[in-house]
Structure 1
Amino acid sequence: MTLRVTFLGTSGAVPTVGRNPSSVFLAREGDSFLFDVGEGTQRQLMRYGTGFDVDHIFVTHAHGDHVLGLPGLLQTLDFNDRERSLSISVPRGTARRIRSLAFALETRPGFPVEIREVDPDDVVYRADEYEIRAFATDHDTRSVGYALVEDERKGRFDRERAEELGVPVGPKFSQLHERNPVELDDGTVIEPDEVVGDPRPGRSLVLTGDTRPTAATVDVADEPELLIHDATFASDRAERAVETAHSTARQAAEIANRCGAKRLALVHLSSRYGGDPSAHLEEARAVFDGPDERVFVPNDGDDFEIPYPDD
């Protein structure tokens, strides 16, 4: 089951030649989401081939580099004859500003747009096999982060063992895999635990948006496959990070360790580093446990396929 991230914008507040303002596209099987909509996001969607079939937009906060692409995106969706509704989740207290921005030209798209406010700890989206949760972040405005957390998966079905126990190939296999006991023709009852392993964890992804390091990032998901964390500055500007309510790459790595993240993506890099992320990578890799490749600074357009924990 596909769970793929495409980094559309990885710059800090000031875009660069190589990096657009903040936006992340997430595809899970047939569902598609956007996290933040920096200026020019609609062009990034075209440039990197994700398409415009977005089901829901999740805004971390109402700073320009995270939302100025919204009016253009809505217009592009309208020009593409979109008909179904679009839901936009925003931190509580920011809906009025986002609505004013979205409809700044006093024109409405030809499809319904729902802007709804969310609080930390809300389940903001629920599907059959996963949910998207909001969590508290610490920026200099109302803000939240988001985590996609999949449900547990069924345990592995041991077909060979089932056949040894006399279970005929067919519907009884499915019943057992659904953890229902079955009765054989001779009256023997086979319990699911005899042929089905323990439930297996699903995957999870955590995206902070702009924030100082927070305990809520650690608590929102257990050992996420990918943590996408604010790393606006390297430690040479740690004081500036505190002043502006951002994180350093080292702090992002410390949070990744605390939550048991398998991989760490450092994003929202300040333009003052001139497109050179070496300082960010060096200090994060010095702190984050495991091989160096577990920490990376994505470029715009990079894809990351999120594997299952037991793959």
Structure 2
Amino acid sequence: MEFHFLGTGAGIPSKGRNVSSLALRFMTNREGDVWLFDCGESTQHQILHTNLKLWQISKIFITHMHGDHLYGLPGVLGSRSFQGAENPLTVYGPKGIHEFVTAALETSRTYLKYPLEIVEYEDGYVENDDGYQIEVSLLEHVIPSFGIRVTEPSQPGRLLVEKLKEFDVPPGPVYKKLKDGKTVTLEDGRSLNGADFLGEEQLGRVITVCGDTRPSEKTAKLARNADLLIHEATFAEGMEDQAIDYYHSTTIQAAEIAKNANVKRLILNHISSRYHDQSDELLESAVRVFANTELAHDLDIFHLTKRKGT
């Protein structure tokens, strides 16, 4: 998985940070499929600075209806069509997303060449797409704001070809059956169990992406044992009271959520423009609480590799 941070700022764009947008690109299993989380102003322009293409986007999740998270959506939808995309796209979001998208397309007379589905989700929404489970949970913000948890299906381990050679099993269709974990009978009468010739299972990764929120047990529950948590950090250490009042989080509070939820890795984003030259200080404060913390900047790319297990 690749995570392309297209916009990492809070509220309004600044010279250093655009407003919220994150692209998740699947490097295996989904053939370069891209899911977009939020779509703030100028998202399509930020994409021009990457190797991503609009036609690759198959899902767009809008965490909440504040402008810094969705004003770029009409442009992305229109340009995706202008560039010739014909593959389907699904837009997910809170109540109101259907009205927003429909009004923008109709009043601008934008015709889409591809099928567009709009899903308005509520707290507890669950969807399964080709083995990928998507769970949505309501967080705590001034308007309904959601977090999304994506669980990847586990994959069988690689076929141990060298071990098969040791058993004098020649390459052929039997390899595919063994790879699928089936038991096969060879021409010489030997019976082989595919499970005996597979490496460690590749466990499905779990990621949680949060919209704007103040710290909440709901967030910790959604992120529980995740491989990666992406969480807002609008305010710096020492601004905890203001964060609570304005329904946002500080770097410290986000790190505490990650620690309490037993996640493996935390990436902070949604940084206020007031901290344009304080990235190091923001990160240092979070690392004191949760060591495996990183802070995203616009156009940063983070990778999440598969983990192995039994």
Q: Given the two structures, how large is their TM-score scaled by the length of structure 1?
A: 0.87
Q: Take 1:203 and 1:244, find their aligned partners in 2: how far apart are those partners? A: 32
Q: Take 2:162 and 2:77, find their aligned partners in 1: how far apart are those partners? A: 53
Q: Take 1:189 and 1:80, find their aligned partners in 2: how far apart are those partners? A: 54
- Checking the alignment, whether the CA contact within 8 Å between 1:177 and 1:192 is kept in structure 2 is yes
- Checking the alignment, whether the CA contact within 8 Å between 2:41 and 2:72 is kept in structure 1 is yes
Q: Take 1:159 and 1:175, find their aligned partners in 2: how far apart are those partners? A: 13
Corresponding residue for 1:36?
38
Q: Given the two structures, how large is their TM-score scaled by the length of structure 2?
A: 0.87
Corresponding residue for 2:281?
279
- Checking the alignment, whether the CA contact within 8 Å between 1:149 and 1:221 is kept in structure 2 is no
Letter in 1 for 2:283: L
Corresponding residue for 1:69?
72
Q: Return the offset for 1:60.
A: 0.3
Corresponding residue for 1:307?
305
2:171 corresponds to 1:169: yes
Secondary structure of 2:208's aligned partner: strand
145-154 or 48-57, larger mean C-alpha shift:
48-57
The structure-2 alpha-carbon separation of the partners of 1:179 and 1:310, relative to structure 1 and needing over 3 Å to count, comes to closer
Superposed, 1:289-304 pairs within 5 Å as: 289=291, 294-304=292-302
Corresponding residue for 1:122?
125
After superposition, the CA RMSD in angstroms is: 2.4
- Checking the alignment, whether the CA contact within 8 Å between 1:230 and 1:268 is kept in structure 2 is yes
Q: Return the offset for 1:207.
A: 0.8
Q: Take 1:146 and 1:173, find their aligned partners in 2: how far apart are those partners? A: 38
Q: Return the offset for 1:32.
A: 1.3
**CA shift digits 1:39-96 (9 cap, x unpaired):** 11111111234221221211000001101112222332343243444321012x2235
Corresponding residue for 2:3?
5
Q: Return the offset for 1:266.
A: 0.6
Corresponding residue for 2:19?
21
Q: Return the offset for 1:125.
A: 5.5
- Checking the alignment, whether the CA contact within 8 Å between 2:59 and 2:90 is kept in structure 1 is yes
Letter in 1 for 2:190: T
- Checking the alignment, whether the CA contact within 8 Å between 1:36 and 1:58 is kept in structure 2 is yes
Structure 2 gaps, min length 5: none
149-158 or 193-202, larger mean C-alpha shift:
193-202
Secondary structure of 2:79's aligned partner: helix
Q: Return the offset for 1:221.
A: 5.6
Corresponding residue for 1:50?
52
Q: Return the offset for 1:10.
A: 0.2
2:83 corresponds to 1:80: yes
Q: Return the offset for 1:132.
A: 3.2
Letter in 2 for 1:257: K
Letter in 2 for 1:123: V
Structure 1 gaps, min length 5: none
Corresponding residue for 1:268?
270
- Checking the alignment, whether the CA contact within 8 Å between 1:61 and 1:143 is kept in structure 2 is yes
Q: Take 1:17 and 1:36, find their aligned partners in 2: how far apart are those partners? A: 20
Q: Return the offset for 1:157.
A: 3.0
Secondary structure of 2:255's aligned partner: helix
Q: Take 1:283 and 1:166, find their aligned partners in 2: how far apart are those partners? A: 58
Identity of aligned residues (%): 36
Letter in 1 for 2:229: L
Letter in 1 for 2:42: G
Letter in 1 for 2:144: R
The structure-2 alpha-carbon separation of the partners of 1:216 and 1:172, relative to structure 1 and needing over 3 Å to count, comes to farther
**CA shift digits 1:198-238 (9 cap, x unpaired):** 53302232211111223344444664332210111122211
Superposed, 1:122-161 pairs within 5 Å as: 122-124=125-127, 126-127=129-130, 129-161=131-163
- Checking the alignment, whether the CA contact within 8 Å between 2:98 and 2:119 is kept in structure 1 is no
- Checking the alignment, whether the CA contact within 8 Å between 2:126 and 2:134 is kept in structure 1 is yes
Q: Take 1:231 and 1:57, find their aligned partners in 2: how far apart are those partners? A: 22
191-200 or 60-69, larger mean C-alpha shift:
191-200
Aligned length: 303
The structure-2 alpha-carbon separation of the partners of 1:200 and 1:39, relative to structure 1 and needing over 3 Å to count, comes to same
Q: Take 1:138 and 1:179, find their aligned partners in 2: how far apart are those partners? A: 45
Secondary structure of 1:55's aligned partner: strand
Corresponding residue for 1:252?
254
Secondary structure of 1:211's aligned partner: coil
- Checking the alignment, whether the CA contact within 8 Å between 2:201 and 2:308 is kept in structure 1 is no
- Checking the alignment, whether the CA contact within 8 Å between 1:71 and 1:104 is kept in structure 2 is no
Q: Return the offset for 1:273.
A: 1.7
